[in-house]
Amino acid sequence: MRATRRHAYTLTKGAADLLVLNEIIGQAGDPDISRRLHELDHLGKIEYITFSKEDALRHRVRVVTDHGTECAVVLRRSARIVDGAVLLLDDDRAIVTRLSERNWLSLVPRDIAAALELGYQAGNNHWTVRFDGPVMRIAVEGPERNYLDRLAAFFSDRRVTRIDDGR
């Protein structure tokens, strides 16, 4: 059993004003919770925090809700942030998480040779990819330009084409 103790995240400027969120109370879809959220929603008292898929893996992170409330999310290692996780549920306020969709770069190689080379390039860069038949999708972390520049040679001689098929 781990010790129970008080935590003061007061080492640095502004920490005293942070709202510490240290547990996942439940899911927005849970019947009991959803009823209460519904009431708060009418009063405009639900605040949302949007996480990228990567940031949702974190257990400690500073975030600002869409209402501008500065929060310190400090979760146990076993907790996992998913879409609709309820981090606070009071009579006059709720805080709920949202996961933003991942941004994928969708690429179609012209022929097998281009496909092999593109696959090699992606692997060599440790990019996260998804294969969708003839389309290779690369998960974009950070600025998209960093990926496009690396692939510039493929685009310039049209060995690879970027498509937007809404996925």
Partner 1 sequence: MTDTYPGAARVGIGGPVGSGKTALIEQIVPRVIKRGIEVGVITNDLVTQEDAQRLKRSGLIDPERVIAVETGACPHTAIREDPSLNIHEANVLEDTFENLDLILIESGGDNLASTFSLALVDYWLFVIDVAGGDDIPRKRGPGVVLSDLLVINKTDLAPYVGADVDLMVREAKAVRGEKPLYLTNCRTGEGVDAVLEQVLHDALVARSPK
Q: C-beta of 148: minimal distance to partner 1 in Å? A: 11
Residue 126 is a binding residue for partner 1 (CB under 8 A): yes
> For partner 1, which residue of 19, 24, 25, 74 counts as binding (CB under 8 A)?
74
In angstroms, the Cα distances linking 70 to 108, 146, 158 are: 42, 30, 47
**Which residues does 150 contact at the CB level (< 8 Å), separation at least 6?**
121, 125
Give yes or no for a contact between 123 and 116, defined as CB atoms under 8 angstroms apart. Answer: no
Cα atoms found within 13 Å of the Cα of residue 51, Cβ hemisphere only? 23
Residue 16 is a binding residue for partner 1 (CB under 8 A): no
> For partner 1, which residue of 25, 45, 141, 155 counts as binding (CB under 8 A)?
141
Sheet of strand 85-89: strand arrangement: 26-27, 85-89, 94-99, 46-51
Residue 152 is a binding residue for partner 1 (CB under 8 A): no
Binding mask 29-68 for partner 1 (x = CB under 8 A): -------------------------xx-xxxxxx------
Q: Binding to partner 1 (CB under 8 A): which residues in 77-116?
A: 77
Residue 142 is a binding residue for partner 1 (CB under 8 A): yes
Q: C-beta of 27: minimal distance to partner 1 in Å? A: 20
The piece of 8-16, 39-47, 84-92, 101-109 that touches partner 1 (CB under 8 A) is: 8-16
Give yes or no for a contact between 28 and 96, defined as CB atoms under 8 angstroms apart. Answer: yes
Q: C-beta of 83: minimal distance to partner 1 in Å? A: 17
- The token pair at 134 is 């003839």
Sheet of strand 129-132: strand arrangement: 129-132, 135-139, 104-109, 160-163
Select from 74, 66, 56 the least CA-distant residue to 15.
74
Binding residues vs partner 1 (CB under 8 A): 2-13, 15, 20, 22, 54-55, 57-62, 72, 74-77, 125-126, 141-143, 146, 149-150
